[in-house]
A and B are shown apart, each in its own frame.
Chain A
Amino acid sequence: MDLYIRPDYEVVRNTDRCIACRVCERQCANEVHTFDPETGKMRADESKCVNCHRCVSLCPTHALKIVKTDNTYRENANWSAQTINEVYRQANTGGVLLSSMGNPKPFPVFWDKMLLNASQVTNPPIDPLREPMETQLWLGKRTAKIERDEKGLLKDTLAPQLKLSVPILFSAMSYGSISYNAHESLARAAEELGTYYNTGEGGLHRDFYRYGKNTIVQVASGRFGVHKEYLETAAAIEIKMGQGAKPGIGGHLPGAKISADVSETRMIPQGVDAISPAPHHDIYSIEDLKQLVDSLKEATEHKKPIIVKIAAVHNAAAIASGIARSGADIIAIDGFRGGTGAAPTRIRDNVGIPIEMALAQIDARLRDEGIRDEVSILVGGSIRSSADVVKAIALGADACYIGTAALLALGCHLCRSCHTGKCNWGIATQRPDLVKRLNPDLAYKRLVNLVSAWKHEIEEIMGGMGINSLEALRGNRLMLRGIGLTDTELRLLGIRYAGESL
């Protein structure tokens, strides 16, 4: 145990309830629990506990709970316990602090400061159980020119589109950062739901080519796993310029997570750290980006939409404008609360901007410049519920990426220890004994359930507003009102304050 750092959590065992079945012991990859044959009782070493709740969930007699320790440093509003511990940790190791999942700091969540409208009297609400409600949509350029052939019939000049039956996609999570079974679950759920999942920059395992119609493949700075068949198998190709959890930073998959399968899929050596550079070394301008967009389009005979993904940063609107002019079909923006398998803590917690602000500004900028129809807008970076989806669409998004919420559906308990590779839920790990804890037969259904539930809620909310299609909701900021926001925030979001009528 560390001399300076006390555990954050305590494992509390109700000994009246514990039957010493040792399930907790067998299920904890961190080896917190042990059985003491002398006393016949279970023990816990909380210094190893990451509070993932695997033991709590599986305990058949509900004898376990994990509580935040009330062991405390001398109180100080400036020097919180976590800040102090981080200093101790770095003093111990001399290393950069690593973290997983999204920014946990108490920054404002603007979704929670926006309220939705509903119809009363003058325009009636719609009951989605009785009347049609359109949640289907297409992503891609909507700038088809009207051209006719010699017989006077319309020519199909529409750029390739992605058809979605719900405005929700699973965001990029690489095979390597998450397990084979997690990938299979996402792929199968995407197929059943009529939407898409995203390979991340880890390549596409051969077994999953059969889900190609529902797969978005990524081309990232490391170019891992990119080859002709990979591109051809996919429904769309995403060029990853940045990620909300770590803008300006590349990726680093530790060698330990690079198993034989991961190595083959990524086309890199086994057991050696995989470094994705911070920049694409062939992209230093919008013109360079356009070259890559064009190359990918050429490679796939202009049949697939190209997505360009960026992290939400200070000049996101200007950058998006450039991307819209680069030939890309879809812009994906990732907010600073987006998750990750591993990121430097300081970057995760301090770099980037909220997705709400970036989205509002990008949508406004593209409209102002008259190029909004050149691209669809996908947003991610902590979409937590169907209400967030509706608000995002009202702010101008076409559809939303969900990552963290999808992982939660798979069983993730947000312990934020993905970088250790010992995920007790079989999600963010490559250890075979842990990977098998996620049975895709069960897990994919949970994803389907989640998205289906959200879809019902979206229909309900839209109906309440008197809106019967996503098309009519998109960019409809009059449906939003701010609460607890400053004038500047209202201006940037382009919405009025709660109570303000037209």
Chain B
Amino acid sequence: MKRIYVKEEWCLGCHLCEYECAFANSGIADMVKALKGKTIHPNVHVEDCGDIHFAVNCRHCKDPICVHSCISGALTKGEDGVVRIDRDKCVGCLTCVLVCPYGAVLPAPDGHAAMKCALCTDNGRGEPNCVKYCPNGAIVFEEREAAE
């Protein structure tokens, strides 16, 4: 399946993807209205390490430990391969946050659920917004082969 990959050598650490993600998932059509004066809670996170930067978001693992560990059945891996969270079923225990090796499942700001990237399949964007607006082609959405 197509997944999001970060190209560390081209990531500038500008953190735009975080804002584009928060905007895409805000449900508000205007970025200023969606984000101004607010603390953002994106599903993608840029990690910094000196001059090295890279964006981390859900890897949609083939064998997703978050799904296996979910106590309520709120996390599922769809037939399209996308790992999604059903907020309605989630009770916010954060077991998924505790087990995701990438730190890509996050506590939702309301504290009552977890949240994660669904490749912008659930917000009407059609394609991942972080990828679309990365100014340097450092985040890509493509098919790749499996790791050993």
Contacts and interface: CB of A to CB of B under 8 A. Distances in A.
Nearest to A15: B36
Contacts of B35: 19, 21
Interface residues of B, number: 21
B73 interface: no
B27 interface: no
Considering residues B14, B19, B35, which has the most beta carbons from chain A within 10 angstroms of its beta carbon?
Answer: B14
Interface stretch (B92-100, B118-126, B131-139): B131-139
Interface in B1-41: 9-10, 12-16, 19-20, 23, 31-32, 35-37
Nearest to A27: B14
A60 B37 CA distance: 15
Contacts, number: 55
A433 B51 CA distance: 6
13 contacts: A16-B32, A17-B32, A18-B36, A19-B19, A19-B36, A21-B16, A27-B14, A57-B135, A60-B20, A432-B51, A436-B10, A436-B12, A437-B12
B137 A58 contact: no
B24 to A, nearest CB: 12
Considering residues A16, A27, A57, which has the most beta carbons from chain B within 10 angstroms of its beta carbon?
Answer: A27
B10 A439 contact: yes
Contacts of B20: 60
B14 A26 contact: yes
A91 interface: no
A26 B15 contact: yes
A61 interface: yes
Contacts of A436: 9-10, 12, 136
A17 B34 CA distance: 11
Contacts of A48: none
Nearest to A432: B51
Contact of A23 (B14, B31, B136, B137): B14
A100 to B, nearest CB: 23
B96 to A, nearest CB: 28
Given A21-B15, A27-B14, A442-B137, A60 B51 contact: no
Interface in A322-380: none
Contact of B15 (A23, A433, A437, A441): A23
B12 A27 contact: yes
Contacts of A18: 36
A290 interface: no
A436 B9 CA distance: 7
Nearest to A431: B51
Contacts of B12: 26-27, 433, 436-437
Interface in A401-452: 432-433, 436-437, 439, 441-442
A61 B32 contact: yes
A500 to B, nearest CB: 51
A65 interface: no
Interface residues of A, number: 21
Given A433-B51, A437-B136, A439-B136, A23 B16 contact: yes
Contacts of A297: none
A433 B133 CA distance: 20
Contacts of A442: 136-137
Main SS of chain A's interface residues?
A: loop
A439 B15 CA distance: 17
Contacts of B138: 439
Interface string A45-77: 000000000000110110000000000000000
A18 B32 CA distance: 7
A22 B12 CA distance: 13
A61 B28 CA distance: 14
A467 to B, nearest CB: 40
Contact of A22 (B15, B31, B37, B136): B15
Contacts of B135: 57-58
Considering residues A16, A17, A436, which has the most beta carbons from chain B within 10 angstroms of its beta carbon?
Answer: A436
Nearest to B136: A439
Contacts of A441: 10, 137
Contacts of A60: 16, 19-20, 23, 31, 133
Nearest to A437: B12
Nearest to A17: B32
Top 10 nearest A-B pairs by Cβ distance?
A19-B35, A439-B10, A433-B51, A21-B19, A442-B137, A439-B137, A439-B136, A19-B36, A23-B14, A61-B32
Interface string B104-148: 000000000000000000000000000001011110000000000
B8 to A, nearest CB: 10
A448 to B, nearest CB: 15
Given A19-B35, A27-B14, A433-B12, 15 more contacts: A19-B19, A23-B16, A26-B15, A40-B37, A58-B14, A58-B135, A60-B19, A60-B23, A60-B31, A60-B133, A61-B31, A432-B51, A441-B137, A442-B136, A442-B137
A127 to B, nearest CB: 37
B144 to A, nearest CB: 16
